[in-house]
Amino acid sequence: MAVPDRLLAWRDRLVSSPGFQRFAARFPLTRPVAERQSRAVFDLCAGFVYSQVLAAVVELGILPRLAERPHDTAELAAATKLGPPAMERLLRAAQALGLVSPRQGGRHGLGMKGAALLGNPGAMRMIEHHRILYRDLADPVALLRGEHSGTGLGAFWPYAAGEREETGGTVSAYSALMADSLSLVVEDVLDAFPFARHRRMLDIGGGTGRFAIAVTQRVPGLAAGVLDLPGVIAETRDRLAAEPQSARLSAVAGDAIAGPIPGEADLVTLIRVLHDHDDPEAMAILRNIRAALPPGGTLLIAEPMAGIRGAEAMADAYFGFYLLAMGSGRARRPQEIRQMLEQAGFHDIRLLHTRRPLLTSAIEARVPAARHFAQLIVRLD
């Protein structure tokens, strides 16, 4: 049941009152709540500084060094060409954030968060990539008003601006980032969906084939194709040809928005693709997939989604502004994706369970089988 606006207004006036805040900080029953809220508000204010500490730690290669063995401040300073006072400042900040932990003899080792990051190369690549995003967000109000003539992310992801024929170093850069960062979600998607019930998959927007390779490694009986823009697909073919299961892998140049999409697959996947596109382009992709799939065929969508418990900040804050800076797309709620799928002609739409919805959620949808069409015709008659 919705809380009445007048009750929420009373709560807001109470919480924003300096007198109540002083009382809550002193009273034993409310003090823990007040302290948690104070820390959370401060983290919002200091979040950019925290992210820059993280960026410096990653850029200087501190985590791999500490993974080999603990180092003291002087060693790290010499290895990274920082002065000892500057390195000490960075290490103290990194320790406060859980990236580094103190060890015996004044040395430093990995903290729990540092160890977790080091085991996730995709996250490390995204941290390095974020310097482009941070430049675009230097004036967030101007970005919201559309006053930027161009953004760094818009140049990095040229297809977001409607450039369908990318060539050169830009393709390699964003294809490599897509492949590396995809490692964050591949295992979760593989565990969420029964790929073995299909004979041939087509991964749309699959870049250099990272997801197709992972699926065919997991499911020996499955063949997989990758469809991407012409500027990407040449590199994809080389990458797929180097795999032991290359006989079950293929790549085709195409445009999922303009269509048509090849119709040999009984499973089409959109892994972190739909949210990159505005609604008209997203609907065009879904309709083209619907036209390509046979009766009973399946579409699998996996990407961060809005309105998922535990993933609110990732979808609406992080991706909300990332995609704004990129110049295209938005994080959608499962209900919105369901409506789009229904408009495109899909049915049997269901949200799948994923282990880490913070990273990705998944939706399965099917094309009505031939028997289903026959039953509808009988009913209409």
What is the mean pLDDT of the segment spanning 14-43?
84
CATH of domain 43-119: 1.10.10.10
Residue 87 has pLDDT above 90, yes or no: yes
Query: Which stretch of 55-69, 146-160, 269-283, 291-305 has the lowest confidence by average pLDDT?
Result: 146-160
pLDDT per residue as tens digits for the range 173-203: 666 666 666 777 888 999 999 999 999 999 9
The per-residue pLDDT for 299 is 98
- On whether the CB atoms of residues 302 and 272 are closer than 8 A, the answer is yes
Residue 61 has pLDDT above 90, yes or no: yes
pTM of model > 0.85: no
Which residues, in sequence order, are CB contacts of 229 under 8 Å at separation 6+? 159, 164, 165, 166, 253, 254, 255
The per-residue pLDDT for 370 is 67
The CA distances from residue 182 to 141, 186, 244, 255, in Å, are 31, 6, 21, 21
Q: Which span out of 128-137, 232-241, 282-291 was modeled with the highest average pLDDT?
A: 282-291
Residue with the bigger pLDDT between 165 and 286: it is 286
What is the mean pLDDT of the segment spanning 326-339?
94
- On whether the CB atoms of residues 195 and 219 are closer than 8 A, the answer is yes
Q: How sure is the predictor about 381, in pLDDT bands with cuts at 50, 70 and 90?
A: very low
The per-residue pLDDT for 377 is 45
Domain layout of the chain by residue ranges? 43-119, 153-373
Fold matches, 43-119 and 153-373: no
What HEC string does the chain produce? Answer: CCCCHHHHHHHHHHHCCHHHHHHHHHCCCCHHHHHHHHHHHHHHHHHHHHHHHHHHHHHCCHHHHHHHCCECHHHHHHHHCCCHHHHHHHHHHHHHCCCEEEEHHHEEEECHHHHHHHCCHHHHHHHHHHHHHHHHCCCHHHHHCCCCCCCHHHHHCHHHHCCCCCCCHHHHHHHHHHHHHHCCCHHHHHHHCCHHHCCEEEEECCCCCHHHHHHHHHCCCCEEEEEECHHHHHHHHHHHHCCCCHHHEEEEECCCCCCCCCCCCCEEEEECCHHHCCHHHHHHHHHHHHHHCCCCCEEEEEECCCCCCCCHHHHHHHHHHHHHHHCCCCCCCHHHHHHHHHHHCCEEEEEECCCCCCCCEEEEEECCCHHHHHHHHHHHC
The per-residue pLDDT for 169 is 47
What is the rounded average pLDDT for all residues in the chain?
88
Residue 110: strand pairing partners: 100
pLDDT per residue as tens digits for the range 206-247: 988 999 999 999 999 999 999 998 888 888 999 999 999 999
The per-residue pLDDT for 311 is 87
Q: How sure is the predictor about 314, in pLDDT bands with cuts at 50, 70 and 90?
A: confident
CATH architecture, range 153-373: 3-Layer(aba) Sandwich (3.40)
